Structure 1
Amino acid sequence: MDANAWDERYRSDERVWSAEPNRWVAREAGDLRPGRALDLAAGEGRNAVWLASRGWRVDALDFSPVAVRRIETTAEHYRETVHATVADVTRYDPDEGAYDLVLISYLHLPGPEMQGVLERACRAARLGGTLLLVGHDVSNLEHGVGGPQDVRVLSSVEQVTATWGRCADIVVAEVARRPVEGAVALDTVVRAIRRD
């Protein structure tokens, strides 16, 4: 999907996803000491606004101008501050070592593009900073529900840990089961700590 298609999707509904943070983001980032966070492909901003409510200084990026406006509106509604920017994460080059948390939540790209995003995310994290990815796992195609139906854009623990393992210590690497309306979705969840 391109930015125009996502703009249309966001325009078609008052909210495409819940205003609550993703359950795995809340589980993995809930106890982290607040600092500066980067939310790549932030969508409507549910995770970004939640992080801001917990004291984080958040930069949120998305290539959909409609999504970025929605992030700003949601942050205003909750009286939180989120610096939201229209940017394509496949081309965006964040400041090196600038973030205490770099979050990628349900970003689904073909392998080479995702590889570049993962590498730049690692460079954006400061030493000791946290990298967190949550996405629809490749096993979801056969054993779960929802999410993209194209194997080329789905996440895997192996893909993420192979990249982040070169720059960070892997703390969590699992295929997590998420209940969805009487069924189960399978998500890749990887958390890592940036090292030299």
Structure 2
Amino acid sequence: MTNSWHERFSTEEYVYGKEPNEFLVSAVQELPKGKVLCIAEGEGRNAVYLASLGFDVTSWDFAQAGLDKTKQLADEKGVVVTTELRDLAEVTWEEGQWDAIIHIFGHFPRNVLDRTLVGIKKALKPGGFYISELYTKEQLRYGTGGPRNEEMLCDPINLLKQFNGYFVKHFHIGEVNRVEGQLHTGTAHVVQSVFQKREED
């Protein structure tokens, strides 16, 4: 089976740029340092940024070319990121492994997304954080990045249902301006989330 993401990342250019996502930069400022997982992390811009802040970062992606570029960027910035080739449609989630899980513009079919969110809830430690910025279905009107298939775009109500019972530190739906390499540029429609798993009683 061809892996279109591997092909997309098999260039010298970082197609989403080397700078971290703006929302992530603001969202992690108050997070205690700990073990962080970045899923569908692509070429590593967010993982490398988090490593530069002192987090212990692991990056998962389905494209080996993306993981190779993550290592290259980490070397360039003088930090360490653990990279692992993972298919979210099949990955096994271990319980209570992560202080935070980062999910920036990782878009999947609804069944894979729901499976992933269930896994994330299992894998977060008590008190841990899920941080995401995802394109909503409204993004089809903008054409400034993301899948052109509505099923692959995020329904904010689904996110709220999935994380029912979590403490909502931040939840926002609306327009943002993003300049992230050649593939995310311009005004976009997103949902931003910071959900915290409640401490066990």
Asked if Structure 1 and Structure 2 have the same fold, meaning a TM-score greater than 0.5 normalized by the shorter chain, the answer is yes
1:176–1:25 distance in 2 versus 1, CA, 3 Å: farther
**2:193 counterpart residue number:** 190
Distance in 1 between residues matched to 2:20 and 2:58, nearest whole Å:
16
Mapped contact 1:157–1:174 kept (Cα < 8 A): no
Distance in 1 between residues matched to 2:102 and 2:95, nearest whole Å:
15
Distance in 2 between residues matched to 1:29 and 1:77, nearest whole Å:
22
| Identical positions, percent | 24
Mapped contact 2:88–2:112 kept (Cα < 8 A): no
Quick one: which amino acid aligns to residue 35 of structure 1? G
**2:126 counterpart residue number:** 127
Distance in 2 between residues matched to 1:132 and 1:3, nearest whole Å:
30
RMSD value over aligned CA atoms? 1.8
Aligned length: 194
1:13–1:3 distance in 2 versus 1, CA, 3 Å: farther
Mapped contact 1:3–1:64 kept (Cα < 8 A): no
**2:91 counterpart residue number:** 92
Q: Does residue 65 in structure 1 map to residue 64 in structure 2? A: yes
TM-score (norm 2): 0.89
Structure with the larger RCO, 1 or 2 (CA within 8 Å, 6+ apart) = 2
**2:168 counterpart residue number:** 170
Distance in 2 between residues matched to 1:66 and 1:110, nearest whole Å:
22
Structure-to-structure mapping, 1:156-167, within 5 angstroms: 156-166=155-165
Q: Secondary structure at the match of 1:139?
A: helix
Which whole-Å deviations, capped at 9, do the CAs of 1:48-82 have from their partners, x for residues lacking one?
A: 00000001001110010100111111111111111
**2:182 counterpart residue number:** none
Q: Secondary structure at the match of 1:189?
A: strand
Distance in 1 between residues matched to 2:74 and 2:134, nearest whole Å:
24
Query: Any stretches of 5+ residues in structure 2 without a counterpart?
Result: 180-184
Runs of 4+ in 1 over 3 A off after TM superposition: 180-183
TM-score (norm 1): 0.92
Q: Does residue 109 in structure 1 map to residue 108 in structure 2? A: yes
**1:81 counterpart residue number:** 80
Distance in 2 between residues matched to 1:128 and 1:48, nearest whole Å:
21
